[in-house]
A and B are shown apart, each in its own frame.
Chain A
Amino acid sequence: MAGFEELSKGVIGGNQAKVKELTQRLIDEGAEPLEIINQGLIAGMSIVGARFKNGEMFVPEVLMSAKAMGSGLEIVKPMIADADMPSIGKVLLGTVKGDLHDIGKNLVGMMLESGGFTVINLGIDIAPEQFVAAIKEHNPDILAMSALLTTTMLHMKDTIELLKEEGLNDKVQVIVGGAPISQDFADEVGAAGFAPDAASAVELCKRLLN
């Protein structure tokens, strides 16, 4: 259907009003909800992802595209079962105990969402016990922990140890990030991965789930 390409363009341009209008029109014209998602919304977002990787698009543009995609999804969502919603994996996200730095982590969350992941963002100042409880509740594929301070980053290790104690370390892969975090530190605390920035975090999660 010709409308899909136009819908993709709306996503690429970050135009929420246009995406809403086109999504509604496609539904009215009898298009399959899953096709609207896959051939219109996600197709547009894939192009955004590729352009971002090439340095042709920038973070605020990607986020506006993600918002546009989201506004389309919202309309289609009630028409399909939750289990049929395309998602390439579930990521549980949070900043560790004692650390109130929110924004870098949120950026990672938004980039993951725009990359097709389902993200559960626990927020800031999350103790190991809270991470564990949330893993039991949500069953994520990946736990992503963030820290900005050298004093708080050690809680990443505490969380990983607790995961082992609870026997959850085989069920969820742990990744870590934040300004003072390095690959060496990730290896030392036994994390499955480390990403130096939000865009690489998306790549990392895709790699881990493959």
Chain B
Amino acid sequence: MALLGGQCLSRTDIENIHEATLNILEDTGVSIGYQPALEAFRKAGARVKGERVYLSRKIVEEKIKEVPVKFTLHARNPEKNITVSRNSFLTAPGYGAPFVTDWNDEKRTASYADFENFAKLAGASKYLSMTGGNLVEPVDISDKIRHVMMQYACIINSDKCFMGSSYGQKKAEDSVKMAQILLGPEHKLDEKPALISLINTITPLVIDERQLGALMEYAKAGQACIVASLAMAGATSPASLAGTLAVQNAEILTGIVLAQIVRPGAPVVFGSTSSITEMKYGSLTIGAPETALIVTATAQMAAFYGIPCRAGGTLTDAKCVDAQAGWESMMNLLTAERSGINFVLHSAGILEYYMSMSYEKFIIDEEMLGMVLRFRRGIDVSSESLPLDMINKVGPGGHFLDQDHTFHTFKKEFWRPDICDRGTYDRWRTEGCLTAKEVAQKKYNNVLAEYQPTVLDPITDRQLKVFIDSL
């Protein structure tokens, strides 16, 4: 396992934040806007007053114990199954952006065609672990079938795992039905889950009907959920990062406890996309160093509870693919890896604080992902990697370029870039002075032209289409 690098909280800090969280849960409570959820909390012994649920230390501690430390998600190609655990570092593309920023930096509304393109790029990616979920919001598809159309595009364009809809109980149920059709009637979906879905709280301390309906439906069906909070420190949570961590913690634990009430052992992930408020505008900013601190602290809090966690990604506030997009994205991706985040949504394509997706950024982010994955692999120290005989043979003043050891080692030891230019100035000039963005554009066009997804068998394909038509 990779050795981790990032910590920002001491053991005492973690315990203090945990205690503050328990105080919030017991004294302030969380607003739960869904009758079946209130009923479930009440039955489990929680204090419920109107729509407010108050969780005691006992319930929280008991239910957290039920959370599985790892679970496997099943893809249509079993080789692409992924295991979410306390040691994993899994990645999925950007999620939920309603816009696409094009080559000329113009922003436009995202369409289903964009969705299909991003599904293909994710399917073709050698680094991304999953196809993803709401790769963009295809606003040209009616709300009624948008969730299943998105899922269909994920299925048809890639054989990797994908995400379910979190837009309410009914749409979650549809997502589960689609997964069942895909994996066949013999597949015991509740024991071998296929879906992971993103359940977002509304900070501060609210979870709405839609997200709760989906959470309960997925828990019932044994499918995984990421329960995530997006607190904007200073606006929707305290301006102090510790206070923000306590508020987000209360929300996440409430969702996780509910999943365990519905089904003990339901697979869940402790999630955060919290950051600070840009006080110049009162708006969200995610490229801030405070984001990276919250990512790190989220990993530490989740480790304290022993629950797999999600945070970070190639996060930026930049409006186009520029240097700011690069430095902010790399900080937040590398931080996620270093601090022990297990599942990284928004690993490719995001611009402008989750608002937009970019094709060029997607390719450049994959390059960053390649670098970070190499970093994660660390340094192998063994008799083979300490070749004393060869060092002795080459001796002072010699070179290693023509040695067997070099020949057999360099390809596995060195990561190969696809975008980074490492040549000389003159070579770069003769080849047309291409910027990273230009190289990325070329690459994504090539991928879209050449990528052949594994063909889905026609019977399953037809069944999926019939199901969609029946809605």
Q: How far is the CA of A180 from the CA of B139 in the complex (A)?
A: 10
Within 8 A of A (CB), among B150-174: 167
Q: How far is the CA of A184 from the CA of B110 in the complex (A)?
A: 12
Is B303 located at the chain interface by the 8 A CB criterion?
no
Is A204 located at the chain interface by the 8 A CB criterion?
no
Q: How far is the CA of A100 from the CA of B33 in the complex (A)?
A: 10
B149 to chain A, nearest CB (A): 13
Interface of B is mostly: loop
A37 to chain B, nearest CB (A): 26
Partner of A154, one of B143, B167, B202, B280: B143
Is B180 located at the chain interface by the 8 A CB criterion?
no
CB-based contact A184/B33 at 8 Å? no
| Chain A residues near B167 (CB-CB < 8 A) | 151
Is B109 located at the chain interface by the 8 A CB criterion?
yes
Partner of B109, one of A59, A151, A182: A182
Is A157 located at the chain interface by the 8 A CB criterion?
no
Is A132 located at the chain interface by the 8 A CB criterion?
no
CB-based contact B98/A197 at 8 Å? no
Within 8 A of B (CB), among A155-210: 179-180, 182, 184-185, 197-199
Q: How far is the CA of A205 from the CA of B146 in the complex (A)?
A: 35
B353 to chain A, nearest CB (A): 9
CB-based contact A107/B33 at 8 Å? no
Partner of B235, one of A55, A103, A179, A182: A103
Q: Which of A55, A60, A179, A197 has the most CB of B within 10 A?
A: A179
By size class, the interface of chain B is 20 to 34
Given contacts A100-B33, A184-B109, contact A198 B281 (CB under 8 A): yes
Given contacts A58-B280, A150-B98, A197-B282, contact A180 B234 (CB under 8 A): no
Q: How far is the CA of A10 from the CA of B107 in the complex (A)?
A: 43
B273 to chain A, nearest CB (A): 13
CB-based contact B143/A151 at 8 Å? yes
Is B72 located at the chain interface by the 8 A CB criterion?
no
Q: How far is the CA of A179 from the CA of B234 in the complex (A)?
A: 18
A-B contact sample (20 more), CB < 8 A, given A60-B239, A100-B208, A197-B282 = A55-B280, A58-B280, A59-B280, A59-B281, A60-B234, A100-B202, A103-B232, A107-B282, A111-B282, A150-B98, A150-B139, A179-B98, A180-B98, A180-B99, A180-B137, A182-B109, A184-B108, A185-B109, A198-B282, A199-B282
Instruction: Kindly list the 3 A-B residue pairs having the minimum CB-CB distance in the complex, ordered from nearest.
Output: A58-B279, A180-B98, A150-B137
